[in-house]
Chain A
Amino acid sequence: MKSQQAANRPDNTAFTQQRLPAWQPMLSAHFVIPGFLLIGMAFIGIGVALYITSQNIQVLEKDYTGTGQYTACSECADMQTIPCICNVTFSLTTLFTGPVFLYYGLSNYYQNYRKYQVSRDDVQLWGDVTKSPGDACAPYQYIDNKPIAPCGSIANSMFNDTFSLYQIINGTMKLVPLDGKGIAWWTDYNIKFRNPSAQGSLQDAFNGTMKPVNWSKPAYELNPSDMNDNGFLNQDFLVWMRTAALPDFQKLYRRITSGDYALGLPPGDYVLQIEYNYAVKDFGRKKVVFSNVTWMGGKNEFLGVAYIVVGSLCLVMSVVMLVVYAKYKFADENA
């Protein structure tokens, strides 16, 4: 109870008197040496593991821009004939362990350019084509006052080269089945994107809309082979719409998971037949990439190396600290 006499007396508690029990780490050499050692060891361990994992990943890249030192598809590079078909051949000496992922890669392609990246209408892609597309889609918003579906620059510039892979066995071309299912994010396919709903076919649902300017086919005819892979739920479209973070990027095209190739691509000669539609030679390059993936994704040596370097740095630091500590101790005792 507070006495009347000291009504104004501050509370004498640890908090108000700033005497809370506290941990006061003193950052000095002997305090941090174990930490440095520990971190250094752990990092080097992780780094080595990462590096080995990365080394185990097989990657095969084929540039097919058709200009410069690469000659593949040079006949199509000038875009005289559309569609232009070209072939890229390669041979494997060892098994390319599966599952093999087929990517297409674009370089110097700025999907992250702000005005490009915002040029879409998420509500439309959610299945609402009746509503007028958002202003962000401009100038790919309307054609003849009919809304474009899907609207916007991203959709308009969709990558439309197609690939098919053949293994040459005894002179005959054996089609390698490419699996186009599930290459987009599950959430994109199931939640974020929806086809417009309507009585009847998908075409009816897109009634009253226009296809994007650059598209040769309307959205509901993107994949004639699979009726469920059309409209806004076309997997290639979904992959394209997830805009890449950096100007040099890859996008998953197909996986090789089935049939004779479930365990990977056996050694031999292969032909990649490309329907060359997409013009990039003015600003960048394009390529196809075969890769197998591990838990840490595609091939990337950086992480492993970086871990090893930083880990070694920590070890060096701990040695430096030891030296400093010894000197300091020595000086201290002298004093």
Chain B
Amino acid sequence: MTHSIDRLSCCFRRRENTGDSETTPLLRAPPQDPEIPLPAALHHVFPNNGPLSPSHKKVMDRYAGNKIRTTKYTFLSFLPKNLFQQLYRLANIYFVFLVAINWFPQMEVFHREITMLPLVIVTVASSLKDALEDFRRYKFDRIVNYRAASVYDWKQQDFVLKCWKDVRVGDFVKVVCNEVIPADILLLNTSDPNGVCHMETANLDGETNLKQRQVVRGFAASNCSFQPEHFGGTVVCEKPNKNLTHFKGYLAMPEKKKIGFGRESLLLRGCTMRNTDSAAGIVVYAGHETKAMLNNKGPRYKRSKLERKMNTDVLFCVGILFIMCLIGALGQYFWLGTFPSTPPFVPPDSSNVYIPPSLSGFYMFFTMIILLQVLIPISLYVSIELIKVGQIFFITNDVDLYDEETDSRVQCRALNITEDLGQIQYVFSDKTGTLTENKMVFRRCSIMGTEYCHKENALRLAALDEAESDEEDPAFPQKKVPSRLQFLKGKSAAALRRCNSARARIGVRGQAEVTLSPHSDVAFSSPLETDVAPDWRLQRITGDEAGQMEAWGRVSRIGGGACYMDFFLALAVCNTVVVSTAMHPRQRVTGPLNSSTLKSLGHIQTLLKRLGSLSHVIASLHSIPEKSGPTSPASPASPAGPPASVPAGDEVDRGGVTDSGSLNTSLEDSEADLPSSDDVPTETSANPNSDGLCYEAESPDEAALVHAARAYGYTLLGRTPDHVTVRLPQGSLLTFEVLGTLAFNSVRKRMSVVVRHPMTNEVIIYTKGADSAIMERLAKSAENQPEENKRKRIAAKTQRHLHLYAKDGLRTLCIAKKVMSLQAYTDWLAVRQEAESAIDNREELLMETASHLETNLTLLGATGIEDRLQEDVPATIASLRKAGIQVWVLTGDKQETAVNIAYSCRLLDQSDVVFTLSTASLDECNSFLDCTLEEVKRYGVQPPWQSSPRGLRGPTFGLVLEGHTLGLLFEAGLQLRLLELSRHCRSVLCCRVTPLQKSAVVKLVRDKLKVMTLSIGDGANDVSMIQAADVGVGISGQEGMQAVMASDFAISHFKHLKKLLLVHGHWCYSRLAGTVIYFFYKNVAYVNLLFWYQFFCGFSGTAMIDYWLLIFFNLLFTSVPPIVFGILDRDISAGTLLSLPELYKSGQNSEGYRHTTFWVALLDAFYQSLVCFFVPYLAYQGSDIDVYSFGTPMNTASLFTILLHLAIEIRTWTVVHWVVMVGSVLLYFIIALSYSALCINCNHPSNPYWIMENQMADPVFYLVCILTTVLALLPRYTFRVLQGTLALSPLVRARQLDMLSPQVRDSLIREWRNQESTSEAVPDQVLSSPTKPGSPTEPTVDRGLTLHKDGNEDTGNPFSPGHRRSISTMTI
């Protein structure tokens, strides 16, 4: 040990020498001379506790102040900046172009003002929207900027109240309990004697558990009493960055000492101080440089697949426009050429000069652009925005997607990709927390090679399953529901606002609100997890063992029964669980007091707290009774007793800790110093839950283990950075001194806690972690042979149990311990401290030192924790799969666990042929791919999403990939082969993959297969995957909010994915596709009327329809119905969509909107416009009709045609549809009539006076309109009727089903189902014999490369009941 530490120190020294002088380990570093120009790479903060030297001031002035401005504009810059930004949009450039060319008299069609109208409307509308948004931001900024913070003023030598905006980097700031932290502060002092404070980061990342923060360690030791005026150091840390989980730097003290610190000492802006009276520190980053603000990105903007396609079609429209304009220009040229002399109706220009035909043609080109401008459907973009708002309204309002438990709806965070939900082809799912509940339940354990299967617990869980709905736990009669609600309301409100900002939350949760419930929520504390029914066998053993407590010193050696004790102690100690007692015990403990006094007392205290947040003076007074408060129950330095003023309140707060019914038996000589002097009415309870302890764990596994330990009487009572108190089964308290904690991370896959045993004074290291991480670190040699054998036997047995657990789908952890001498530990500690204060390579060094400690472990046992499947997961996966969606599961769990979960959620079927690829050798990968591809191809299986001819399906394949193999494949560039293989597989399961690999897989599939992908996950490790996919879905579950923050949609359960995709996705897609197609059609159909007229007006750009009516036509008369259609139309009812997931395939294949659909719509538009033009033309040919009287029936017929066209497409007529349709027609007539009645001389040259009235008095007008409309719609109507009659597409069949009565429908659906399933069942019979194991064509399989064949292996009898899953592993 000593040797290895020496070597380690050597390493360090070598690194020092080669390293950059700035980052040398600090113990021997030359003192920092402040006069030397400071390196720019670091962030220097000089304390603001006295006048600053000019050079320091210069440095400090560079840093951002704490004033935030999230507005985009200022009052003055709004107009120019906003206009500029608007002109940046392509659509607006188009408008400006039109306005510009309309300004030339040669090309002018409309009045200049009229052409400007769309531009003005669009610009003003968006400006208003921007201005409003900005004003809201401004108001919000004001609130935040003027919030009060107590800042140290060196002139007054005290903390004074200042606005947040006046806080500067270098200021000393004091934050009291429940106050929001105004800036990123380096923690220098807390009211807690242990130098810790807690903060809640829910504002930042939504995580509900408290984070412990620590005073800069070395600093706390050197300065016992913190006085800002005496602080002489300089803070040196990294430049502001957005990495929330990373922060490092050092304090350069005047005595030429450097004290390192990390993120555990940084208080983040926007977080709330909890469970700590007050804390003070120096501001290191302020305002926009704080981590919270740097993380505050704007809303996400994605383009949906449909919109991308739409944009290409818009380009087609541009092409069509170009051609039409060209025809106009050439037409003008040739038309002018047909006259031998200038006819009287071709006037010269204003200077009495006749323009040559070529120039006239050239001008005509632009005139035509102005005239036909509507062909480019700019209105489409605006309409789509509106439609999506409506669609999102309905998605978020779906009761089926609402979760009672968390009171949360589905959140749509990305506003413009709703229709992508209807086109998903691949779903990538995380396992933990997504497929499973991430409610960890302790199921089994193995101690010293003996397995305890906890049958009673299993029974309890089964019972809980049945009574799922009734989750009321008698032990927690009153959960803090209101406060939780408060919290969630704020959360979703903020999320809806689409800014994941901390400040948004701050606004929602006022400080006063929060103080009423000082402790908002405790994670992972459902009865499912907290109750563990102990195994009676194990309980007896532990009971016996506990009886030997007196002989503690003797049983410390390994091998005795104390192993059990060690095991449970390890469970209780080796974690980072924070114990809190602040909320529950009030009623229970202080039974004698009636509740009303309690309330008032609690009220007094909250009042005090509130006052405290305002005034430093009161806070300091009131901190006296609070000192021994909830967070420091076991603090050795707790004062003797509370002052008389608020005794009851104090009792209340401490009740949870002091209720231990065995105070008298507590070991007086232990270091535990509970406030036993209080004569609190105590209550002995048999139920361990009733002691009101709440465990706040960072991961649910930890909580499950602590609860399990408690079930056996090893109750974790309190944790401070330095001490852990555990109550032993017989009631005695044991307080360990914590010497160090080696935190868990995904690379090490283990964590350790180093404690000093209070009685033996031995240094004990408790380690828990993944089996792979622990097993290889076990002690290799023992003193004697039998011991050695025993160890080996235990290890082997445990390994077997682990395997068993994993096969059952349990999460496994190994528990180990190690005893070392104090000396060895101190040696190690010295190295460790060096590593801690290093700035460069700190992470590596810490890892290295940690692994030096975690060697030669002694295995204690293993645990199996169940991560229960979420409700309806198998059904959801089955539905998704029927919908043609490929489901891949990407998980970090080990292969066995993952495979078992995959089976239990039916991702893998019993009859599937499963290929497992798990090897470290590239050659093996290669040969595996070759062989499996060959085999798979032999069955001629089509990629599963393509509908194969009925009854010709071969076996289905599953693929299991190991993370490191995956990495190997990626490195070797074999991705495409892998992809090819995966296309033949029905399901793919990747286990032990890192977050980066997850996103790489998603990107690979998305880019190479050109498919729509969806990622769903709940944890921070899924963020990259969620962002990589076309649609990211976050599950707002147990693991905080990072996934939700990164997602486009957030749901609360995996099962909601089914309705979200199958129903809402389908609807949104079919609605939007219909609307987009309709918009294209509408614009072309209408504008072509003008185009056809050009052939009869000498290609001169005349419009036969009044300009205002032209504009209103698009703006008013035909705009609302398609929007309503896009929001409300429902082709198939939700029930049918859910019971026939196959219908989803239409969206996947983009059946609603293809290029053919587009062109057919355009053809139809051309046809209809021809009818709308030529029927009136022929009817009025040769008559004395004038230009605008001629246009009126065309306009009217066109309106009817266009609206009725939509009516044919509308599949569900609700009241809204009727109102809008009839309203549009009425609006047209009202406006047209009143306009032509009122406008006598206006609107040159159309002068529509009395034209409409005149026409409407003429029967021919109606005859023409009716004939035109009927003739125009006849083809489409006939087509739709034939489609509806022949019912070739499943969508139409489903619609027909919808029309039937529910009973008939259900039976028909069942019939449909049966048809499908029989066609699926056929392969069993037609299956050609699968390869026999060991046949010559068999792939060469090596160790670790297994070919699992399930069910179908019995080739001799294809009808054999192959449902018993058996695994044959071939090794050649």
A311 CA / B132 CA spacing, docked (Å): 57
Q: Could you give 13 example pairs across A and B, Cβ below 8 Å?
A: A9-B404, A16-B398, A18-B1067, A23-B1212, A32-B1281, A112-B1100, A114-B1097, A126-B1241, A245-B1187, A283-B341, A296-B1259, A325-B1285, A328-B1286
Given A17-B398, A27-B1277, A321-B1285, check contact A7 B489 (CB 8 Å).
yes
Chain A residues near B396 (CB, 8 Å)? 10
A118 CA / B394 CA spacing, docked (Å): 50
**Range class of the B interface residue count:** 35 or more
Given A20-B1216, A245-B1185, check contact A113 B1100 (CB 8 Å).
yes
With both chains docked as a complex, state the minimum distance between the C-beta of A54 and any C-beta of chain B, in angstroms.
Answer: 11
A284 CA / B341 CA spacing, docked (Å): 12
Q: For chains A and B in complex, what number of residue pairs have CB atoms within 8 angstroms?
A: 271
Nearest chain-A residue to B367 (Cβ)?
A: A114
Nearest chain-B residue to A47 (Cβ)?
A: B1267
Q: Which among A8, A12, A119, A187 is the interface contact of B489 at CB below 8 angstroms?
A: A8
Contact B1214 A21 (CB under 8 A): yes
Q: Which among A23, A25, A192 is the interface contact of B1240 at CB below 8 angstroms?
A: A192
Chain B residues near A123 (CB, 8 Å)? 1241
Decide if B903 is an interface residue (CB 8 Å cutoff). Answer: no
With both chains docked as a complex, state the minimum distance between the C-beta of B393 and any C-beta of chain A, in angstroms.
Answer: 8
Decide if B1344 is an interface residue (CB 8 Å cutoff). Answer: no
Chain B residues near A18 (CB, 8 Å)? 394, 1067, 1128, 1130, 1134
**Range class of the A interface residue count:** 35 or more
Decide if A169 is an interface residue (CB 8 Å cutoff). Answer: no
Q: Which among B367, B409, B1274 is the interface contact of A8 at CB below 8 angstroms?
A: B409
Ordered nearest first, which 6 A-B pairs have the shortest CB separation? A245-B1190, A138-B350, A114-B1100, A157-B344, A139-B352, A153-B347
Chain B residues near A251 (CB, 8 Å)? 1184
Contact B1208 A185 (CB under 8 A): no
Q: How does the 8 Å CB contact mask read for B689-700 relative to A, with 1 for contact and 0 for none?
A: 000000000000
Contact A246 B1177 (CB under 8 A): yes
Q: Which of A64-72, A228-236, A266-274, A301-309 contacts B (4 or more CB under 8 A)?
A: A301-309
Contact A116 B339 (CB under 8 A): no
With both chains docked as a complex, state the minimum distance between the C-beta of B1108 and any C-beta of chain A, in angstroms.
Answer: 15
Contact B347 A116 (CB under 8 A): yes
Given A113-B1098, A192-B1241, A328-B1286, check contact A139 B1278 (CB 8 Å).
no
Chain A residues near B1128 (CB, 8 Å)? 18, 20
Q: Which among B341, B1181, B1298 is the interface contact of A300 at CB below 8 angstroms?
A: B1181
A87 CA / B1098 CA spacing, docked (Å): 33
Given A9-B402, A110-B1097, A244-B1184, check contact A302 B1285 (CB 8 Å).
no
A2 CA / B1299 CA spacing, docked (Å): 35
Nearest chain-A residue to B481 (Cβ)?
A: A5
A198 CA / B873 CA spacing, docked (Å): 91
Chain A residues near B1263 (CB, 8 Å)? 46, 50, 296, 303, 307
Chain A residues near B1211 (CB, 8 Å)? 24-25
Contact A248 B1181 (CB under 8 A): yes
Q: How does the 8 Å CB contact mask read for A114-127 relative to B, with 1 for contact and 0 for none?
A: 11111111110010
Instruction: Kindly identify, within residues 1219 to 1263 of chain B, every residue whose CB is under 8 Å from any CB belonging to chain A.
Output: 1240-1241, 1244-1245, 1247, 1249-1250, 1254, 1258-1260, 1263
Chain A residues near B398 (CB, 8 Å)? 10, 16-17
Contact A249 B1184 (CB under 8 A): yes
A23 CA / B1175 CA spacing, docked (Å): 33
With both chains docked as a complex, state the minimum distance between the C-beta of A330 and any C-beta of chain B, in angstroms.
Answer: 12
Q: Which among B351, B1100, B1190 is the interface contact of A139 at CB below 8 angstroms?
A: B351
Chain B residues near A110 (CB, 8 Å)? 343, 345-346, 1097-1098, 1100
Decide if B951 is an interface residue (CB 8 Å cutoff). Answer: no
Nearest chain-B residue to A138 (Cβ)?
A: B350
Q: How does the 8 Å CB contact mask read for B1259-1277 relative to A, with 1 for contact and 0 for none?
A: 1100110010011001001
Decide if B397 is an interface residue (CB 8 Å cutoff). Answer: yes
Q: Which among A138, A243, A302 is the interface contact of B1178 at CB below 8 angstroms?
A: A302
Instruction: Kindly identify, within residues 300 to 335 of chain A, every residue whose CB is under 8 Å from any CB belonging to chain B.
Output: 300, 302-303, 306-307, 310, 313-314, 317, 321, 324-325, 328
Chain A residues near B1215 (CB, 8 Å)? 20-21
State the A residues within 8 Å of B (CB): 4-12, 16-18, 20-29, 31-32, 39, 43, 46, 50, 103, 105, 109-123, 126, 134-136, 138-141, 153, 156-157, 185, 187, 191-192, 214, 242-252, 282-284, 295-298, 300, 302-303, 306-307, 310, 313-314, 317, 321, 324-325, 328
Chain B residues near A122 (CB, 8 Å)? 1241, 1244-1245, 1247
Contact B1183 A249 (CB under 8 A): yes
Decide if B27 is an interface residue (CB 8 Å cutoff). Answer: no
Contact B485 A7 (CB under 8 A): yes
With both chains docked as a complex, state the minimum distance between the C-beta of A162 and any C-beta of chain B, in angstroms.
Answer: 18
With both chains docked as a complex, state the minimum distance between the C-beta of B334 and any C-beta of chain A, in angstroms.
Answer: 14
Nearest chain-B residue to A61 (Cβ)?
A: B1182
Instruction: Kindly identify, within residues 1176 to 1200 of chain B, every residue whose CB is under 8 Å from any CB belonging to chain A.
Output: 1177-1187, 1189-1191
Contact A245 B1186 (CB under 8 A): yes
Nearest chain-B residue to A324 (Cβ)?
A: B1285
Contact B1183 A302 (CB under 8 A): no
Nearest chain-B residue to A298 (Cβ)?
A: B1183
With both chains docked as a complex, state the minimum distance between the C-beta of B408 and any C-beta of chain A, in angstroms.
Answer: 6
Contact A282 B341 (CB under 8 A): yes
Q: How does the 8 Å CB contact mask read for B1293-1304 relative to A, with 1 for contact and 0 for none?
A: 001101100000
Decide if B407 is an interface residue (CB 8 Å cutoff). Answer: yes
Nearest chain-B residue to A126 (Cβ)?
A: B1241
Decide if B75 is an interface residue (CB 8 Å cutoff). Answer: no
Decide if B340 is an interface residue (CB 8 Å cutoff). Answer: yes
Nearest chain-B residue to A8 (Cβ)?
A: B407
Chain B residues near A39 (CB, 8 Å)? 1270
A284 CA / B346 CA spacing, docked (Å): 14
Chain B residues near A324 (CB, 8 Å)? 1282, 1285-1286
Q: Which among B397, B404, B1281 is the interface contact of A11 at CB below 8 angstroms?
A: B397
Nearest chain-B residue to A101 (Cβ)?
A: B1184
Q: Which among A29, A115, A139, A310 is the interface contact of B346 at CB below 8 angstroms?
A: A115
Q: Which among A5, A139, A314, A328 is the interface contact of B485 at CB below 8 angstroms?
A: A5
Decide if B109 is an interface residue (CB 8 Å cutoff). Answer: yes
Given A126-B1241, A328-B1285, check contact A22 B1214 (CB 8 Å).
yes
Chain A residues near B1277 (CB, 8 Å)? 27, 32
Contact A246 B1096 (CB under 8 A): yes
Decide if B682 is an interface residue (CB 8 Å cutoff). Answer: no
Chain A residues near B1214 (CB, 8 Å)? 20-22
Contact B1281 A24 (CB under 8 A): no
Nearest chain-B residue to A10 (Cβ)?
A: B397
